[in-house]
């Protein structure tokens, strides 16, 4: 018997044991009775979201959620895409087991489905634009003459650019950000390859931060394999620079890829090392929040709450001594002080993790409550947390606004769900995010169950255009 048939049989057994009719369960879940009948008889597959709702309502403690159709793990997705692209001029590059190659250039492209990354002649990469732009700052007529001074000048310039790229990444399409990031990362790696020992580690740390952010933009562009490729490279560069904090953080990034794939087990596994006591409370706090999201995907309410409690305690431990106890510190984790640039604005750009959320723990809690099918609680938590986001954080406002709209839609509060959705679609279009579109598709499916509602009919063309 397949996973789906086992799910349907187990769902029916638990429903009957609870004394519930199919109609009663359908009314709570806000699915049609006919659809649930097809699920129970194995004629249709159950989406993970439906499985989690059933699991919560029937108090199955994750047993039903575990029987839902498995999503490909982050590793499997990477291998599958690599295999698909094998033989296509080596477009899916593999980092391999060796240390980072500081002399091999890369480039990126978009084939209409996902981004790819490949090795190309250095002159072609530098011709992409960003390298030439930086070269102006390094020209003999403008830059300091000594090699050490030139390296310092270039490093400071790239540190400033990195902060600008992270800001741009909050408001612009990843299709616009990625090519520039790839070129800048390549130029930095070239600088590190020929830099003096005194500045090489600083350049490697900076290059690893660029690579980690490039991985996030690749994921936002729809390429999980690209996200993992760059995250792996970031880990190797950080390791070469002796920046163990960033090495640990790349595990949290891998967990994010798995989370958006709906793979709760892989999410928890990816962050396990980052939760170890040898890391700073700030890194462990972020790992605990990601683990909570993984447990929520598995329908494990108790483990999710324990992880959120750990994150709360670690957030307090991570606060600077002078900070008021009422202010959350989850967004303050950063690279070690030895690698921090001196400018305070640049320091913010180098923060590992979210920089535009005043209370990331509240956002994570609301996200988890939604995945645990506790929609009313999720809406209560997400509403103030989303309202508190910076007006400039267009990508996050669209992302968490979509989650808030999903919670209201799941509750059957169609007027509120459609109003929130209509208000965020312009920001979602500007962000052009594959991960946000995942939630918008879920939102569209949920609202379509109320297709007779005038507000849904009015919103539907605009929502469809954003997908």
pLDDT tens string 410-463 = 999 999 999 999 999 999 998 889 999 999 999 999 999 898 999 999 999 999
- In a domain? residue 82: yes
- In a domain? residue 63: yes
**Average pLDDT over every residue of 102-115:** 49
Composition of the chain by helix, strand, coil, percent to 5: 70, 5, 30
Lowest mean pLDDT among 63-77, 120-134, 181-195, 397-411: 120-134
| Statement to judge: residues 208 and 163 lie in one domain | yes
| Statement to judge: residues 190 and 311 lie in one domain | yes
Dihedral angle over CA of 34, 40, 42, 47, nearest 10: 80
Where would I find the H helices in 139-280?
Answer: 147-171, 174-194, 197-220, 224-241, 244-260, 264-270
| Statement to judge: residues 307 and 378 lie in one domain | no
Which pLDDT belongs to residue 101? 54
Which pLDDT belongs to residue 424? 93
Highest mean pLDDT range out of 4-8, 81-85, 144-148, 165-169? 165-169
Q: Enumerate residues 6+ apart whose C-beta is below 8 A from 233.
A: 95, 100, 208, 211, 215
What CATH number should be reported for the domain holding residue 214? Answer: 1.25.40
What CATH number should be reported for the domain holding residue 45? Answer: 1.10.260.40
pTM above 0.85, yes or no: no
| Statement to judge: residues 226 and 80 lie in one domain | yes
| Statement to judge: residues 225 and 79 lie in one domain | yes
- In a domain? residue 355: no
Q: pLDDT band for 160, please (50, 70, 90 cuts).
A: confident
- In a domain? residue 168: yes
Q: pLDDT band for 222, please (50, 70, 90 cuts).
A: confident
Q: pLDDT band for 143, please (50, 70, 90 cuts).
A: very low
pLDDT higher than 60, residue 115: no
pLDDT higher than 50, residue 187: yes
The residue range of the domain holding 60 is: 3-67
| Statement to judge: residues 134 and 61 lie in one domain | no
Highest mean pLDDT range out of 176-180, 350-354, 380-384, 447-451? 380-384
Q: pLDDT band for 161, please (50, 70, 90 cuts).
A: confident
CB distance 55 to 1 below 8 Å: no
**Average pLDDT over every residue of 311-336:** 56
- In a domain? residue 370: yes
| Statement to judge: residues 310 and 384 lie in one domain | no
- In a domain? residue 345: yes
- Name the residue with higher pLDDT: 346 or 276: 276
Which pLDDT belongs to residue 454? 93
Q: What percent of the chain has pLDDT over 70?
A: 73
Mean pLDDT of the chain: 77
Which pLDDT belongs to residue 110? 47
- In a domain? residue 325: no
Which pLDDT belongs to residue 340? 41
Residue 211: CA count within 13 A, CB half-sphere: 31
Which pLDDT belongs to residue 372? 93
Which pLDDT belongs to residue 146? 65
pLDDT higher than 50, residue 43: yes
Domain endpoint, select from 18, 46, 67: 67
Which pLDDT belongs to residue 133? 39
CA separation for the pair 354, 331 (Å, rounded): 5
Highest mean pLDDT range out of 26-30, 54-58, 343-347? 54-58
CA separation for the pair 146, 340 (Å, rounded): 23
Q: pLDDT band for 392, please (50, 70, 90 cuts).
A: confident
How many domains, in total, are found in the chain? 3
| Statement to judge: residues 212 and 340 lie in one domain | yes
Q: Of 267, 261, 163, 176, which is closest to residue 221 (Cα–Cα)?
A: 176
Q: What percent of the chain has pLDDT over 90?
A: 29
- Name the residue with higher pLDDT: 349 or 100: 100
pLDDT higher than 70, residue 310: yes
| Statement to judge: residues 172 and 233 lie in one domain | yes
Q: pLDDT band for 327, please (50, 70, 90 cuts).
A: very low
Q: What is the CA radius of gyration of the chain?
A: 23
pLDDT higher than 80, residue 226: yes
Which pLDDT belongs to residue 277? 81
| Statement to judge: residues 263 and 390 lie in one domain | no
Lowest mean pLDDT among 105-114, 152-161, 256-265: 105-114
Which pLDDT belongs to residue 247? 87
- In a domain? residue 324: no
Which pLDDT belongs to residue 335? 32
| Statement to judge: residues 246 and 263 lie in one domain | yes
| Statement to judge: residues 45 and 87 lie in one domain | no
**Average pLDDT over every residue of 127-139:** 39
In the block, residue with structure tokens 């997400």 = 382
Q: Of 363, 390, 366, which is closest to residue 378 (Cα–Cα)?
A: 366
Highest mean pLDDT range out of 50-54, 84-88, 237-241, 383-387? 383-387
């Amino acid at each position: 018997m397949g996973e789906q048939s086992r799910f349907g049989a187990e769902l029916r057994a638990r429903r009957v044991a609870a004394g519930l009719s199919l109609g009663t369960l359908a009314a709570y879940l806000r699915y049609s009775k006919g659809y649930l009948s097809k699920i129970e008889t194995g004629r249709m597959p159950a989406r993970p979201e439906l499985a989690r709702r059933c699991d919560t309502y029937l108090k199955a403690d994750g047993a039903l959620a575990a029987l839902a159709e498995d999503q490909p793990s982050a590793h499997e997705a990477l291998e599958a895409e690599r295999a698909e692209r094998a033989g296509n001029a080596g477009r899916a590059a593999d980092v391999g087991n060796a240390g980072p190659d500081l002399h091999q250039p890369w480039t990126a492209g978009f084939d209409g489905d996902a981004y790819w990354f490949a090795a190309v002649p250095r002159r072609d990469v530098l011709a992409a634009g960003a390298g030439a732009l930086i070269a102006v700052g390094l020209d003999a007529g403008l830059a300091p003459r000594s090699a050490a001074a030139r390296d310092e000048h270039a490093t400071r310039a790239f540190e400033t650019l990195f902060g600008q790229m992270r800001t741009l990444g909050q408001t612009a399409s990843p299709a616009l950000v990625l090519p520039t990031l790839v070129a800048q990362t390549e130029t930095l790696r070239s600088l590190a390859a020929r830099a003096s020992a005194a500045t090489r580690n600083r350049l490697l740390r900076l290059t690893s931060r660029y690579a980690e952010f490039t991985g996030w933009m690749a994921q936002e562009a729809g390429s999980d394999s690209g996200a993992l490729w760059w995250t792996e490279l970031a880990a190797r560069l950080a390791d070469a620079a002796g920046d163990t904090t960033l090495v640990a953080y790349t595990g949290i990034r891998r967990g994010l890829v798995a989370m958006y794939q709906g793979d709760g087990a892989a999410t928890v596994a990816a962050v396990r090392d980052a939760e170890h006591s040898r890391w700073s409370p700030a890194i462990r706090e972020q790992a605990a929040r990601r683990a909570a999201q993984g447990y929520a995907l598995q329908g494990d309410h108790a483990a999710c709450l324990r992880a959120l409690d750990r994150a709360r305690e670690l957030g307090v431990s991570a606060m600077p001594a002078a900070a008021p106890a009422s202010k959350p510190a989850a967004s303050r984790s950063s690279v070690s002080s030895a690698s921090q640039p001196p400018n305070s604005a640049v320091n913010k750009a180098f923060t590992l993790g979210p920089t535009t959320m005043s209370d990331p723990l509240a956002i994570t809690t609301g996200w988890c409550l939604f995945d645990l099918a506790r929609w009313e609680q999720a809406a209560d938590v997400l509403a103030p947390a989303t309202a508190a986001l910076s007006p400039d954080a267009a990508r996050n406002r669209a992302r968490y606004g979509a989650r808030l709209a999903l919670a209201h839609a799941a509750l059957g509060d169609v007027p509120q769900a459609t109003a929130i959705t209509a208000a965020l679609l312009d920001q979602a279009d500007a962000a052009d995010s594959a991960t946000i579109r995942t939630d918008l598709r879920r939102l569209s499916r949920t609202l379509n169950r109320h297709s007779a509602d005038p507000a849904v009919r009015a919103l539907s063309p605009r929502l469809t255009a954003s997908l």
